[in-house]
Chain A
Amino acid sequence: MLARRMGKTRVIAETGAGQHGVATATAAAALGLECDVYMGSEDMEWQQLNVFRMRLLGARVIPVDTGSRTLKDAINEALRDWVTNVRHTHYVLGTVHGPHPFPMICRDFQSVIGREARAQILEREKRLPDMLLACVGGGSNAIGLFYAFLADAQVRMVGVEAGGKGLVPGMHAARFAGGSRGMLHGAMSYVLQNEDGQIGSTHSVSAGLDYASVGPEHAWLHDIGRVEYTCASDEEALKAFELCSRLEGIIPALESAHAIAEVIKRAPGMDPNAILLVNLSGRGDKDVQQAMRFLPEYR
């Protein structure tokens, strides 16, 4: 609708796991806009279902073969497209990152999550939750949940990054644990980089968390101490993926499974009456193909 209002006839997007690409393709189909989605070729391999969905919705999925062939490189290509075609193209940036005002635009749209969650929990429990948890890649779902609660000082907040295979350079995407101040994609934030300012490679079992930088507002919330940031490893996330499916009957996205992994770590040490609100930000049916590689016992 923003694109429409600006008189633009084409939208582009980047996507990691494919959810944002599918969402953009859906909106474009409904509004009759041309739609191109950039996706790392490595991510495309593991998210074939979403690639099919996007194409079915009329979008063109453009494989990105540069660099690490994941989300960061998809953003590079989308930015290059955008500066070339800005006269008629709107870039629907899928996370709270990128040059101003993209982080704000995305946050304001995502903040519906927190507003609804806050109203619902007050209605049901008559009090605020003790702790909010969400996974953080670029960090849009987390900002979306946290934003409405920022003024509620008693509500603790935890953002969970991808710990990957361990906190060794190239093996994870935990920017707060392993990164430093830097600028990538037009935003100053915590960035995984070497001492010369070259952007580091990243790894996560979940494509949506596999990114070398984090939304600048998260960097701010980290620095002022309002939100605590931690990470969950691939293994912990897969365990949580399994447990949530088994115990709740909900197959969570591998991204969201990182937040659940943190619940599993923290809940046993907390007051049994404490309320933990975790953002199940995505569904896991897109991830079953990837999960099958790691959980062969269910084949």
Chain B
Amino acid sequence: MNRIEERLALLKQAGKTAFIPFLMAGDPDFASSEEIVFLLDRSGADIIEYGVPFSDPVGDGPVIQQAAQRALRGGASMKEVLESVRRIRTRSSVPLMLFSYLNPILAYGIEAFARDAAEAGVDGVLCVDLPPDEAAEYKRLLDAAGICTIFLAAPTTTEVRLKLIGEQSSGFVYYISRLGVTGERAILEKDLERAVTRVKKLTGKPVCVGFGISTPEQAAAVASMADGVVIGSALVRLIHEQSARPGGIDAIKVWADNMSRAIHEKH
């Protein structure tokens, strides 16, 4: 069984929700990213969402855009991201998914990507700008490699489309808690619980919620209604602020412990 599916199944049995932190691979450099992945694993992260930097990330807000730019300036590429995953796998078996735009995958070659990603130890891929109705070849190749294909659903997604997303997704469906790009927001969308219930029902898959969740309070609230909570920009910002400071890694650990506790205990 795939590590993502296995972890979500275990959590479901225990009545718990997955803590899914996002970080940009290679920001500020790969050694730091890998160190932070190990730290997140120790803090109880259930799935690591590892961002593949892209020059034109139209789904991302400024925090993640700038992180991608920093990683690219450092020379990051898909090849290096996969090498990084390979290094992570020598020390950790934490479930790990890539968050990527389609073009770096296309440039790598979908077939070669599926093969090399599986071999490196990637468990899932969320390709942000690949619509589920154009994904036949991609899904076939990733399925064959044993990698989960995770697709996005939004508050405006219709019933018909949610069913399609459910069919094309494995592992879980990633629900965008509110319209827009990635980034921290002060308040959660109203009616989130009803929306998540609808997505669960129509897709028939576990539903993890992301976009705009930044505080432990928000995370705990979302944890009570979803199968997983994704936290991206808040962590990416923290990594940027702390990584150059002496002892910065400890601040990231404190953050991760707090977030993990809030999500797992749901308060």
Contacts of A83 in B (CB 8 A): 59, 179-181
Is A183 a contact of B181 with CB atoms below 8 Å? Answer: no
Is B180 a contact of A184 with CB atoms below 8 Å? Answer: no
Stretch from B29-37, B104-112, B143-151, B229-237 contacting the other chain: B104-112
Contacts of A72 in B (CB 8 A): 56
Contacts of B56 in A (CB 8 A): 67, 72, 76, 184-185, 199
Among B101-123, those with CB < 8 Å from A are: 102-108
Q: Does B54 contact A (CB under 8 A)?
A: yes
Chain A count of residues within 8 A CB distance of the other chain: 25
Q: Does B77 contact A (CB under 8 A)?
A: yes
User: A77-107: contact bitstring with B at CB < 8 Å (1 yes, 0 no)?
Assistant: 0011001111100000000000100000000
A66 to B57, CA, bound (A): 11
A86 to B157, CA, bound (A): 12
Q: Does B65 contact A (CB under 8 A)?
A: yes
Chain B count of residues within 8 A CB distance of the other chain: 24
How far does the Cβ of B156 sit from chain A's closest Cβ, in whole Å?
Answer: 6
Contacts of A195 in B (CB 8 A): 107
Q: Does B195 contact A (CB under 8 A)?
A: no
Q: Does A32 contact B (CB under 8 A)?
A: no
How far does the Cβ of B7 sit from chain A's closest Cβ, in whole Å?
Answer: 30
Is A197 a contact of B105 with CB atoms below 8 Å? Answer: yes
- Can you name the residue of chain B whose Cβ is closest to the Cβ of A186? B129
Is B106 a contact of A183 with CB atoms below 8 Å? Answer: yes
How far does the Cβ of A223 sit from chain B's closest Cβ, in whole Å?
Answer: 16
User: B27-61: contact bitstring with A at CB < 8 Å (1 yes, 0 no)?
Assistant: 00000000000000000000000000011101101
Partner of B180, one of A67, A84, A185, A193: A84
Q: Does B79 contact A (CB under 8 A)?
A: yes
How far does the Cβ of A80 sit from chain B's closest Cβ, in whole Å?
Answer: 5
How far does the Cβ of A76 sit from chain B's closest Cβ, in whole Å?
Answer: 5
Q: Does A39 contact B (CB under 8 A)?
A: no
Is B58 a contact of A85 with CB atoms below 8 Å? Answer: no
Q: Does B78 contact A (CB under 8 A)?
A: yes
Is B55 a contact of A67 with CB atoms below 8 Å? Answer: yes
A197 to B53, CA, bound (A): 10
Is B58 a contact of A79 with CB atoms below 8 Å? Answer: yes
Contacts of B156 in A (CB 8 A): 86-87
Q: Does A271 contact B (CB under 8 A)?
A: no
Among B77-95, those with CB < 8 Å from A are: 77-79
Assuming A86-B156, A87-B179, is B104 touching A198 (CB within 8 A)? Answer: yes
A211 to B129, CA, bound (A): 19
How far does the Cβ of B254 sit from chain A's closest Cβ, in whole Å?
Answer: 32
A19 to B61, CA, bound (A): 28
A76 to B68, CA, bound (A): 15
Partner of A197, one of B65, B107, B129: B107
Q: Does B173 contact A (CB under 8 A)?
A: no
Q: Does B72 contact A (CB under 8 A)?
A: yes
How far does the Cβ of A228 sit from chain B's closest Cβ, in whole Å?
Answer: 26
- Can you name the residue of chain B whose Cβ is closest to the Cβ of A76? B58
Q: Which of B102, B105, B108 has the most CB of A within 10 A?
A: B102
Is A197 a contact of B78 with CB atoms below 8 Å? Answer: yes
Contacts of A63 in B (CB 8 A): none
- Can you name the residue of chain B whose Cβ is closest to the Cβ of A80? B181
Q: Does A191 contact B (CB under 8 A)?
A: yes
How far does the Cβ of A78 sit from chain B's closest Cβ, in whole Å?
Answer: 9
User: B127-171: contact bitstring with A at CB < 8 Å (1 yes, 0 no)?
Assistant: 001010000000000000000000000001000000000000000
Instruction: Give the A-binding residues of B (Cβ under 8 A).
Output: 54-56, 58-59, 61, 65, 72, 77-79, 102-108, 129, 131, 156, 179-181
Instruction: Give the B-binding residues of A (Cβ under 8 A).
Output: 66-67, 72, 76, 79-80, 83-87, 99, 181-186, 191, 193, 195-199
With A184-B103, A196-B107 given, can you name 10 additional A-B contacts, CB distance below 8 Å?
A72-B56, A80-B59, A83-B179, A193-B103, A196-B77, A196-B79, A197-B78, A197-B105, A197-B107, A198-B55
Q: Which 4 A-B pairs have the closest CB atoms?
A: A197-B107, A84-B180, A197-B104, A196-B77
**15 chain-A/chain-B pairs, Cβ below 8 angstroms:** A76-B56, A83-B59, A83-B181, A86-B156, A183-B103, A183-B129, A193-B103, A196-B78, A196-B79, A196-B104, A197-B54, A197-B106, A198-B77, A198-B103, A199-B56
